[in-house]
Amino acid sequence: MPVNVPIRVVQWATGAVGRYALRSVLSRPGLELAGVLVYDPDKIGKDAGELVGLPYTGVCCTDDPERVMAIEADCVLHMPLPASFFGPDRTLDLETICALLASGKNVITTTGFVYPKSYGPRVVERIEAACAKGGTTLHGTGINPGFMSDFLPLALTGLADRVDHIYVRESSDFRGHPSRQVVVDLIGFTRTAKDYTAAVRPFRTFQRTLFAESVQLVADALDVHLDEVEERDEFEVAGQAFEIAAGLVEEGAVCASRWVFSGLVRGRPFMTVEVIYKADARKVERWPDPGFAIHIEGVPHMTMAIDEVSHGLAAAAAHAINAIPSVCAAPPGICTILDLPLPTARARVRTK
């Protein structure tokens, strides 16, 4: 790309994360907004600046994917809710991403695809074919996965002589999360235990697929062959009613959930990712407080704690925005964190 020519960016979806990304695109030197796709009928036709409290931009929001496909742009920030939220066809995200790539636009997505190889060769072949057709690159990112459960653990292994087990924990507080679609419809908070058990199935599939990417990526980077990625989850109900930004959590309603994903080698975990979601951490005593923790068991043992990320939505958006120049400059194909100059350890799997 010529020097001093701005990178033209399309914002695909303007939900909780997408609005932060859109604000950054409009504010950062070197980026130029080319288009905005929205799902909310109330946003159609509005100026992009109006959505995020910034001055008039001259770019109107549309809900027409074909219109966006026709826009000349360098990169698309693809940030919708996962396809499983909208129906049983979980391939919708892949279809959309491949169409964007084939249209000549690089894609940075927060719907997964941190490590497409974990989906199998057919998915990789489809993505690579779309990249070859459009001369484009795909990069999946986020805060977790995309940073905490893969980038940081791999960075820490650069200090290790031997790695026996990697443990990553996320504990997140959703009391201020503004999206009812995410907090209630997707994660399942405020539902009765019966309704939650029935409704969580698509989210469970999405979660397992998502975090299996991180576990598989780290294992492959350390030359460890996993036999399988195991998932288990549980939930907690509220002892009393309380309000959160997304609505009322009544007494007896689901107010927290815990997910554990384990990459197994001969029945033993090589990598474990624990993910805890709380409707309001002040009201849920069970399970650890909000923050992130990483433990590397081996030689030497290492522990890293991040006590607070004050705004996870902003962090997820920033991670995607910061990747735009590198992704646009990368050769066509799939770009993961393994393409970065990241030092990693030579792993030895403990079996006894």
Per-residue pLDDT reduced to its tens digit, 243-276: 999 999 999 999 999 999 999 999 999 999 999 9
Q: Is residue 180 located within the same domain as residue 259?
A: yes
Is 239 part of any domain? Answer: yes
* pLDDT at residue 344 in the model: 40
54 and 93 fall within a common domain = yes
Is pLDDT at 214 greater than 80 in this prediction?
yes
The average pLDDT across 301-329 equals 92
- What average pLDDT does this structure show over 322-345? 79
Comparing 337 with 160, which gets the higher pLDDT?
160
- Say yes or no: 119 and 22 in one domain: yes
Q: Where are the beta strands (DSSP E) in 51-151?
A: 61-62, 75-78, 106-109, 137-140
Structure tokens at 204: 């469970």
Range of the domain at 11: 7-142+316-339
312: confidence class by pLDDT, cuts 50, 70, 90: confident
Is residue 340 over pLDDT 70? no
What percent of the chain clears pLDDT 90, i.e. is strictly above it? 84
Same domain, 224 and 323: no
Whole-number pLDDT of residue 89: 66
CATH number at residue 68: 3.40.50.720
Of 14, 55, 115, 35, the C-alpha closest to 339 is 115
For residues 78 and 94, membership in a common domain is answered with yes
Name the helix (H) or strand (E) containing 148.
Answer: none
Q: DSSP letters along 287-325, please?
A: SPPSEEEEEEEEES-EEEEE---S-HHHHHHHHHHHHHH
| Mean pLDDT calculated for residue range 123-141 | 97
Q: Using one digit for the tens of pLDDT, what is the confidence trace for 189-202? A: 999 999 999 888 88
Instruction: Average the pLDDT over 154-170 and give the result.
Output: 95
For the chain, give the mean pLDDT. Answer: 92
Q: Residue 346 has what pLDDT? A: 42
Q: What is the mean pLDDT of residues 53-76?
A: 96
The phi and psi torsions of 118 (rounded to 5 degrees) equal -70, -15
Task: Please check whether residue 285 is in contact with residue 308, taking contact to mean a CB–CB distance below 8 angstroms.
Answer: no
Q: How many domains does the chain have?
A: 2
- Whether 171 is covered by a domain: the verdict is yes
Regarding whether 177 and 213 lie in a shared domain, the answer is: yes
Q: What percent of the chain has pLDDT over 70?
A: 93
pLDDT at 84: 64
Q: Verify cis geometry, omega within 30 degrees of 0, for the bond prior to 88.
A: no
- Whether 2 maps to a domain, the answer reads no
